[in-house]
Amino acid sequence: MSARKQIERTGVLFVCLGNICRSPLAEGVFLHLAHERGMEDRFHVDSCGTGGWHVGERPDHRSVAVAKKHGVKLPSRARKLDPFEDFDRFHWLIAMDSENEREMLTEGAPRERVRLLRSFDVTLSGAKAADLDVPDPYYGGVDGFDQAFSMIQRACAGMLDAIC
Ligand code: 4NP
């Protein structure tokens, strides 16, 4: 009898401030690209915010719109980072900007598992950490969401190349 194949999933958690604009986009794009590569089953993917203002809400309608334009679904509702659980469950803790990164480190995240998402964008190799933020589009216009999507898409593709 053949042994049942055990698939060890790699946990990837995308983290921003509110978990309604950038990190849900990163979660959806990463899953979309992993699916295109036939690798979806290799990952356990989620997103959260360091702040709790929007817990339980669906992603911002502007994130939903830009994702839809690119055929990407945004599956989850907002939740707040839970350092005790999340730092244990997820292998990769991926910050959208340096403030999210600093917040996770302050909360006790293991340094070797924390990365800025855009550090995986190969076109940005050599850039300073300060230039690797996905700027928060929440208070701006729709353009900011298009720009965030492009940044996230390039970085998620680079991340898949790097960790697979
Ligand atoms: P996100 O954007 O961190 O990309 O989800 C934000 C959403 C909401 C707020 C801030 C940033 N807020 O202050 O409510």
How many Å lie between the centroid of ligand 1 and the Cα of residue 9?
A: 29
pLDDT averaged per 10 residues in sequence order, the chain, 164 residues: 61 98 98 97 98 98 98 96 97 98 98 98 88 96 97 98 94
Pocket test for ligand 1, best of 15, 19, 20, 61 (most atoms within 8 A of CB): 20
**Which residues neighbour 84 within 8 Å (Cβ) at sequence distance 6 or greater?**
none
Place of tokens 């929440």: 138
Pocket test for ligand 1, best of 14, 15, 16 (most atoms within 8 A of CB): 16
pLDDT score of 75:
87
Pocket lining for ligand 1, CB < 6 angstroms: 16-22, 49, 53, 136, 138
CA distance 95 to 17: 9
Catalytic positions are 16, 22, 136
pLDDT score of 7:
65
Give the CATH class of 10-163. Answer: alpha beta
How many Å lie between the centroid of ligand 1 and the Cα of residue 12?
A: 20
User: Which is the closest atom of ligand 1 to the Cα of 23?
Assistant: 4
Name the strand (E) or helix (H) holding 56.
none
DSSP assignments along 87-98, one per residue: HHH-SEEEESSH
Residues 93/87, Cβ–Cβ less than 8 Å: yes
User: Which is the closest atom of ligand 1 to the Cα of 134?
Assistant: 4
